[in-house]
Structure 1
Amino acid sequence: MKTQADKHRVDRQFSVGDLVWLKIQPYAQSSVASRVCTKLGYRYFGPYEVESRVGQVAYKLKLPDHSKVHLVLYVSLLKKVIGSAPIQFSLLPKEPSAMQTPEMVLDRRVHNKAHRTSYQLLIKWKNSPAELATWEEDEIIRLFPEFMAWGQAVANGGGNVIVRKVPASPEGKRSKRARKPNPKFHGPSWKK
């Protein structure tokens, strides 16, 4: 049985001073690096330097002071950096509870999907450029109560002042075709 288990086991060993990537579980460690969409979040953070070896299968890393991760980590959470030392670009977030908040509504559009009409807003997020603005459903207003006050009273100056026509909702349309009784079924329910 031990030989079967050892077939899939990888013997990882790092020396002091090696650079390693730190793997953070997207669902189990959501307090460390919270994302709006955990599926698309980063898998590895770092690189971080190995400070010392603790026992056979654990290593102590030099993590930033603000990180909320234990300094001693199991070897399976670490991955060796291959090649030259990369630029450190993916730091652990300083505020794990920090969430992206909308700054301004840039545009609005009608979105038809599966016989349902909804409105979408082009949202510019705080601390990000306007090029990274995303189309969000108008239900986002319920998530952020102060949302309607953001960016609405700002005069952007110039531009088109014509208001776009919004199509009528499909629920209000009725067919103009005359209703005829089904020839297979006869009865008083068709007489009106």
Structure 2
Amino acid sequence: MVDRSLEAREVVIQLLKFHIAGAQQRMKDMANKHITDRYFEVGDWIYLKLQPYIKISVAIRPFNKLAAKYFGPYLIVERIGDVTYRLLLPIDVLIHPTLHVSQLKRCLEVPTTINHPPFLHLSSPYCSLPESILERRMVKKHNKVVCWVLVK
């Protein structure tokens, strides 16, 4: 009796594993349907796509949805791995020059002007350092305590 129930359980487990493997394969095929392999050569010109959190940290814009999506074009200097490239970026750009292929887009023709990412320097009149803290208050927001500070 116990042997038959163990054998039946093993059959059910094998059947479940078979169906789970089939479902995983179907999900993998659907996910990979829209993925294309991108390959660039050394010397190609490409556009750089910045992530939204980097765009916010490098420039203050009133409407981020109107910000430029791609910057460049930049020259590929070196291919480091299958999906990693090193770019020739200007000196004042504070982005690491080694980037993943998902952040790059092929430039079909090199324009005469290059669109560099805007960066806010500390010497800019729009970037001011706080002089002093005038008031500090603890506020409850979304069931968490948050510290609010009034800065001069």
Determine which structure has more spread, i.e. the larger CA radius of gyration: 1
Match of 2:85 in 1: 59
How far off is 1:6 after superposition? Answer: 1.3
Match of 1:73 in 2: 99
Match of 1:95 in 2: 120
Gap runs ≥5 in structure 2:
1-26, 128-152
Cα separation, 2, equivalents of 1:19 and 1:94: 22
Of Structure 1 and Structure 2, the greater helix share is in 2
How far off is 1:5 after superposition? Answer: 1.9
5 Å matches for 1:10-159? Answer: 10-83=36-109, 85-96=110-121, 98=124
RMSD over aligned Cα atoms: 2.4
Once the two structures are superposed, what CA deviation does each residue of 1:82-107 show, in whole Å capped at 9, x if it has no partner?
13x10233112243565769xxxxxx
More displaced, 85-94 or 56-65? 85-94
Question: Paired residues, what number?
Answer: 101
Please give the TM-score of this superposition, normalised by the length of structure 2: 0.58
Q: Which structure is higher in RCO with an 8 Å CA cutoff and minimum separation 6?
A: 2
Point out 4+ residue stretches in structure 1 off by more than 4 angstroms: 96-101
Identity %: 42
Gap runs ≥5 in structure 1:
102-192
